[in-house]
Every structure is written in C-alpha cells, then in structure tokens.
A and B are shown apart, each in its own frame.
Chain A
C-alpha cells in the first residue's frame, strides 16, 4: 500500500515536470496559472487549520509583486533574487501586522485582513515616485526571456515547495497546535500551547508563500499596478479552490485547484460568453452538495464504509 502511494507520487511528479515537452504554449500557460493558484490556495488553508480565515492573500501577493518589480528595477537585482526579496518583504510585513491583527478572531480577523488589501492599494497609488502610482511599473524584459517552460518549472517548484511545507505542517507538532487552537482556544491554552506564537508563525510562513507567488506573477507578466497586483481574484479564487477540494488537507487544495482551474479554462474555450455563469453554478452546487469539499466527502464515505463493515 505504501509503495503504491510512492509510485503515484513519482508518476505525478514526472508528468508534471515533463509537461512542457509534450504540451503546447497555451496549456503551459494555463498550467502555470493553476500551479500558482494552487500555492495560494494551500497557503490559505494552512492558516485556516489554526481556525483563522484570512482574506488578506491579495495583500501579501501584491506586496510580493511590488517588492519584486521595484527591487529588480531600482537595485538591479536578478529576477530570481527579486522574487525571493518579494517573499521576504511579505513575511516581514506579515510579522509586523500579525502582532496586531492576530489578536482579533473570526469575522473581525477576516474583515481586517481584507482591509489590508485596500490599505496597500491606497499606499501604492500615492507613493507615485516609488511605485508609479495608479499606472504602476513595467519591467523591460520578462523573466527567462519569456520562456514559458522555464516559468512553468519555476512555478512548479514553488507549488511543490508549498505542498512540502503543508505536509510538514500536517506531520509535526505544529499540526497538533493548530488543530487544537481551531477546536477550542481556551482548552489549547490550558494544554500549554502558546496560541499567539503558533498563529504568528503560520501567518508569516503563508505570507512568504503568497509574496513569492506574487513575485513570480509580476516577473511573468512584467508589470505591476495597484488594481492588478492587489486584485481580490488572488484571494477569492484560491479560497474557492480550497473549499471545493476540501479544507484542512494538502490533497484538497491540490484537487480543488486542478479541477477548478481546468474547468474554468475549458468553459472559457467552449463558451466565451457566459462561461462564468456555469462556473458559478458549479461552485454553488459543489458547496451545497459537498460542504466538506471533494476530499472531505470522499474521506467521510470511506470512514462510514469502514465502520459499517467492522
């Protein structure tokens, strides 16, 4: 059983790595987008495991984008290094903001993290000399000379790193801390868990991921602007993917991102007008019929079958 699982991993990873060799340019672009959304979805889920619903993904995505472009333009650092700096900047901002924001819970936390996005839009728009204001900034050349395969591999590496991070969070004591905090904070405290420390750690780690994804996005499209880089799409799409696939698991976000990503692209090609209506309908049906997501529902059925037979 265990070997069988490793074989699946190897097959999936080899298929993913070799994808640019047998796919055309358009599928590579779609896959790249799906992989970056996958990393965002998974990072959002990691914080959710501690019971904190953040709507601030776009904020850290945008900070990563801007830092990447500005350090690349002003300090002439290499594109790859600028992406790393984008992630670090998002992490530092998350650390500072987290010290205040992580004292809030539930809807208050969600609303304040949502507000972060708008605060940064205003800041970026007004620091015209540095950020280019409402127009944004352009990079003269795209990363890797615009080679879609290279950009795909870079994004794949980030997605895999996020998956590994997620699995580390699931397999170590962090898992016990986060799930206890989600279950009941008073009981968690009384078990000796430093709630604030664990939530801050998860908040910063996930912000770094979101910043890096934002950085790659900015390098890939070679520009930043307030509305594009801080677009709420980067909060809402990952959230929908995670919920559809199933929260609190690595596999859930992977399946959700893959499924929803491919479906969205297929619908867009099939019916250029009105595909969003079908997309919305699928989302509503899925959440009504499978509130625990695809992975959660399948797992529940397996447990039910197991207990029924025993």
Chain B
C-alpha cells in the first residue's frame, strides 16, 4: 500500500531543471532513503512534497487524495510532516512551546492539550528540561526538538531532511534508534541523507537522485553496486 505517490514530477527554477519526471512511491510503514550528490534536487523534492514549492507538472497523491495544488499548511494538517535541513527554531519560544506549535496548528489542538502532547513527544525523544531557552541547546537537542516539532503535527509521513548532519557518530546512532522507534509507531518515513553508512543501517529501500532525475531505486546493496550511482555519487565520496 502506498501512502504517498509522486508521478512524473517536474520543477524548474528559470532555466534550471531541479526535478525532472520524478516518480516515487512511499509504502506504508517503510523507511525510504533518499540520496544523491549536492544539487541533485533532494531538498527541492521535499519542498515540493510539503507544498513549499508547487510543481510545474506532475501529480502528488497522498493517502488517496490529490494534493498537488494544496497549500503547505493544508498538507501538514493532512499528515505530511517534515524537518528542515537548515533549522531555524523560534527563539521567542522555549523548547516545549516550539514543539507545541506543531500540535496547536498541525492537529488543531487546544493550548492545554497541545502542551500535554508536546510533553509526551519530548519525553518519547528523550528531550529533557523542556522549559529551557533554546539558545542553550546542543546540536543534538536542536535536532530532537525539530523532530519533536514535526511529530507534534501527528504526521502519517515524516520527511527528515539531513537530520544527522552535524552530529558525531554516537549522536547519529541515537537518532537512528529514534527514527526506528518512530517507525515502530506506525509512521512512514523518508530520510534524506549524505552519509552512506547511515542509509545502509537505517533504510529499507533507497532512491538515488542525480541532477533532478531518479537514476536508481532498490535495496541498498543493489543500488550501491549500480555503476551510474557509483559514478554520480559514491565515486566522489570514496
């Protein structure tokens, strides 16, 4: 069963074709890895799915509904949650309040209920001392807060855009465990990542993007042996 289906999606920025005829299917309760070299269009894809950009052509079907033209806040309420690669937490709110924003507007909860749900999610992710000012958080805590914020909107599909960047090995391992825990709650997850090791460890299936096109799709072992992928991505890395 697919939760999210993308058909023949194209997005151009002036003369630059950021995404060209992309097809993608997210199956219920899987963790899909989305990889590709810099400028491949990974973040653009996330932005088009979450409604920040509208596509030039193609369709986005979420949960059986065509959401191609829906504005971002509607998609969030329908159940597409996301994190941001460059996180800009709201400094006017503390940790808990930042998370609360998700449940207040993503699910339309009242203040009290939103507070309770945000507390639950913070606890679930191991985020403590949540009444704190966010300027004093560690990188790991900020990443957790960003995930908590997305989870608070109660998504069916969670798009994690380079959530591991900037973390050391131990911290990345902790986040990997958390992503698995989130999946075990019934969520479908798409992980965008640079580090191949994390993709190998975490994902069920991998999709490789290069210059706006899907060049390979399948299990990590298959994809990592594909000569096109090696020349486009792994070749640079090694």
A interface residues with partner B (beta carbon < 8 Å) = 172-173, 176-177, 179-180, 182-184, 186-195, 248, 303, 307
Contacts and interface: CB of A to CB of B under 8 A. Distances in A.
Contacts of B93: 176, 179
Contacts of B106: 191-192
Q: Which of B76, B92, B93, B110 has the most CB of A within 10 A?
A: B92
A180 B73 contact: no
Contacts of B90: 179-180, 183-184, 187
B71 A173 contact: no
Contacts of B105: 173, 176-177, 191-194
Interface residues on B, range: 20 to 34
Given A176-B93, A189-B73, A183 B88 contact: yes
B101 A189 contact: no
B51 interface: yes
Given A173-B104, A176-B97, A176-B101, A191 B149 contact: yes
Contact of B76 (A172, A183, A189, A307): A189
Contacts of A307: 136
Contacts, number: 74
A45 to B, nearest CB: 14
Interface in B82-130: 82, 84, 88-93, 97, 100-102, 104-108, 110-111, 114
B76 A191 contact: yes
A274 B84 CA distance: 54
Given A176-B100, A177-B105, A183 B50 contact: no
B162 to A, nearest CB: 15
Interface string B70-86: 01110011000010100
Contacts of A191: 73, 76, 101-102, 105-106, 149, 153
B61 to A, nearest CB: 19
B139 interface: no
